[in-house]
Structure 1
Amino acid sequence: MDRESQKSAQQYRPATRVVSVDANPADPYNPASTPIYQTATFKQSSAVSTGEYDYTRSGNPTRTQTERHLAKLMDAQRALCVTSGMTALDVIMRVLSAGDEVIAGVDLYGGTNRLLKFLEKSKINTVHVDTCLVENVTSAITSQTKMILLETPTNPLIGVCDIKAIAEIAHARNEEIIVVVDNTMMTPILQRPLELGADIVYHSGTKYLSGHHDLMAGVIGVKKEALGDQLYFVINSTGVGLAPFESWLLMRGVKTLAVRLEKQQASAMKIANYLESTGLKVNYPGLKSHPSYELHNKQACGGGAVLSFETGSTMVSQQIVEGCKLFTISVSFGCVNSLISMPCRMSHASIPPEVRKERNLAEDVIRLCVGIEDVRDLIEDLDQSLRAANVI
């Protein structure tokens, strides 16, 4: 898709954009669906000249079309697809050098925390602050700060960061600071961080974008072409570009993103209301009781389909999780079926207990990832499990 076509496509609303796919204008057979170009190499016209593609590690038509479509959804100048969400973050972090400093949250995905810890070996240090408080981020910025890494909502306590305010402050202090947002939980349908001032947005394509948990993928979107070129160099050098079949699966899955998320979000709202009615502490930005309800609704257009709640007892939480029959006990989120987990024992277990305590990550917190089942069945399942655990 050329720039003019991409520009006109932006006039449509997100739910329309997501299904408006240009399969591949260069294909002579005019396919309605992007084909899988399952080839490692491409024929060259001569020994001294190549066409658009020569080796799939460097580029492949299926991946190109998927990237162009995702760039349109994210309002990005360029999108890049890699082998997982963690690979996406790893690629982003490689623009940093020894001595650089990253500001990141205290409530963040366990895998992200693990990668940041690993990077200390390369003398890239991370300062953890509560990024939901703008003043904490402001006071943490130093001359060594080169990146601010945000999750909003945070995982698993569902806090909200003010993307616009943090980006404005960071760029005013140093225009070279890169503001990065993990937007996996919201997706481009509900929140577009690049429009709010972020420099890079990334997603675990394994989750909502593909939607079926049959694919590992990561997606990066950038505001400026030069930054995209830097990241592409890393991807090509390390060979982590998404393979043709996975690119095709990702494109196939993303077409139903809007309709899936609409159903999931509506169900999540009903479940959050039900849980709150039982007296439990519920973390969900769609609830008016959420401390950042107004901020979230200024920068996003919905609460999403992930929520968490706290029981006050790790043992009780375990009983609830294991007592559910319809919710599957599993890490991750964004699938068509509903999942339940205890993050501090599962997805965040790599964060040491003493660090979790220091960061106020409640050991009893239960995270729900709402799928597309009938919400009445989901509420009944939670209800029977809560009753069996003597919570209600």
Structure 2
Amino acid sequence: MTIKTTSFSYPYSSATAVAQALGTIDKESQGVVLPIHVATTYIRGVDNSYPTGNVYSRADNPTYKPVEQLLCQLEQGEQALLFSSGMAAATSVFLALQPGDHVIVPHIMYWALRHWLLNFAKDWGLQFSFVDMTQLHLVKQAMQPGKTKLVWLETPGNPLWTISDITEIVALAHQADAWVAVDSTCATPILSQPLALGADIVMHSATKYLNGHSDVIAGALITAADHPYWQRIRSIRAQLGAVPSPYDAAQLLRGMRTLHLRVKAACENALFLAEQLQQHPQIKAVLYPGLPNFAGYEVACKQMSGGFGGMLSIQVVGGEAAAIHVAANTKLWKRATSLGGVESLIEHRASVEGAGTPCPSDLLRLSAGIEDKHELLADLLQALPSR
């Protein structure tokens, strides 16, 4: 599968691109912050055309464009689409397939999407193979040439933070004429650019790191090139109305302006916590791609730069009850679902995922925020049993 890619020509670094939102200035007011366009419909020209290209806000809104352009710049993509949530973005990739198509997905992945695949997607006639994506031979065995149409990766994989080799899996998938889509939510475009490694589509739950302030629900897809499959995804977004409000799009752009700083701080905090916690006698294991003894460390070093992410998990000695006790006794860490915000969050993940989860019952998922790392560590240590 050969795809022509197109790079945006913004002449500055990605750090400058996000800080200045590509340097865009409002033409009418000369404001450094762009206006929010709340119109739902747009005037036709006298020739019955749409001179601005905007038809109806279920498909087009000028507030989306700066965010989509910035995402293209960061991911080295050709086109991007904003969605009403990360789930709306992810499920659109699957809904754009045809009944009978076969898809390979990770056995460790974001639970909400895994649940949707198991309980709803099969009704659309899709067939699935859940595979350990860290084992290339298993990915190769799962390929069904002529039938496998999509390989969905999530790396790092939530909540065990498994690392999949994007370049190698892309080679296997493209040899079988299958598309590759990568959920790169936890890596962020600051640490990894899957399109540059050969993937066809990259997905982000923009609710998380891209926005970074726990006050916007949004999702995004970026493609390496325009193609019929991408056009079908675009059509699904418009027909289902899976778009964010103009206000949320503007808030997302605002949040992205500090993306580099937030991701850097979160990475530094997560690495510090992982290094310190792995020495604690009441912690059975620390799962973090930045630890040299982590199974995916070498692959992570190859395809991530600038850090290994702000997410880590710990397995607590004493099992489920002990893990829940630790979460209940933190004071600085907030007991809540989600990740990627400026505040640090902790959660007993198996309780959230419920029956059928592959998540160990003794596991706590930690989203390191940007607070003082020593205070974050001290809070966890006081919550851990002293015995």
Structure-2-length-normalised TM-score:
0.93
Superposed, 1:238-253 pairs within 5 Å as 238-253=240-255
What is the DSSP-based 3-state SS (H/G/I as helix, E as strand, rest coil) of the residue aligned with 1:8? coil
**2:326 equivalent to 1:320:** yes
Aligned partners of 2:77, 2:311: CA distance in 1, in Å?
25
Corresponding residue number in structure 1 for 2:3: none
Taking a change above 3 Å as real, the CA distance of residues 23 and 296 of structure 1, as seen in their structure-2 partners, is same
> How many angstroms does 1:29 deviate by?
3.4
Unmatched runs of 5 consecutive residues or more in structure 2:
1-5
Q: Any idea what SS the aligned residue of 1:61 has?
A: coil
- Could you give the per-residue CA deviations for residues 190-217 of structure 1, whole angstroms, max 9, x where no partner exists? 0111111111110000000000110000
1:157 and 2:131 are equivalent in the alignment: no
For residues 182 and 289 of structure 2, what CA distance do their matches in structure 1 show?
Answer: 17
Question: 1:23, 1:65 within 8 Å by CA — same for their partners in 2?
Answer: no
Q: Which moved more, 1:222-231 or 1:41-50?
A: 41-50
Deviation at 1:40, TM superposition (A): 1.1
Q: Are 2:95 and 1:85 aligned?
A: no
| Residues 330-385 of structure 1 deviation map (CA, whole Å, 9 limit, x = unaligned) | 11100100000111111x22xx33xx3xx4x3111111000111111111100100
The answer on 1:145 being equivalent to 2:151 is no
CA drift at 1:116: 0.8
1:47 Cα offset (Å):
6.8
Please state if 1:381 is matched with 2:379: yes
Q: Counterpart in 2 of 1:290?
A: 294
- Whichever residue aligns with residue 161 of structure 1, its letter is S
Structure-1 separation of matches of 2:55 and 2:105: 39
Once residues 287 and 30 of structure 1 are traced to their aligned partners in structure 2, the CA distance between those partners, rounded to angstroms, is 47
- Residue-by-residue CA offset, 1:91-110 (whole Å, 9 max, x unaligned): 11122111111111111111
Aligned partner letter, 2:349: P
Please report the RMSD computed on the Cα atoms of aligned residues, expressed in angstroms.
1.7
Q: Name which of structure 1's ranges 53-62 and 201-210 shifts more when overlaid on structure 2.
A: 53-62
- Secondary structure of the 2:180 match is strand
- Kept in 2, the 8 Å contact 1:215–1:246? The answer is yes
Match of 1:331 among 327, 330, 337: 337
Mapped partners of 2:257, 2:313: distance in 1? 28
Match of 1:39 in 2: 39
In the TM superposition, what whole-angstrom CA distance separates every residue of 1:20-64 from its partner, at most 9, and x where no partner exists?
Answer: 424656843333222101211222233722222132112111111
Q: d(CA) in 1 for partners of 2:340 and 2:22?
A: 25
Assess if the C-alpha contact under 8 Å between 2:26 and 2:32 holds in 1.
Answer: no
TM-score, normalising length from structure 1?
0.92
Q: In the alignment, which residue of structure 2 is the partner of 1:311?
A: 316
Q: Amino acid of the residue matched to residue 266 of structure 2? A: Q
Query: What is the number of equivalent residue pairs in this alignment?
Result: 374
What's the % identity of the aligned pairs?
A: 32
Q: Secondary structure at the match of 1:273?
A: helix
- Please state how far the C-alpha of 1:6 moved relative to its aligned partner: 6.3
Question: In terms of mean alpha carbon deviation, does 20-29 or 319-328 score higher?
Answer: 20-29
Q: Deviations over 1:287-311 (max 9, x none)?
A: 1111121110100011110000112
Amino acid at match of 2:214: H
1:24 and 1:262, CA in 2 relative to 1: closer, same or farther beyond 3 A? closer
Gaps of 5+ in 1: none
Aligned 1:348-387 pairs, distance under 5 A: 348-349=353-354, 352-353=355-356, 356=357, 359=358, 361-386=359-384
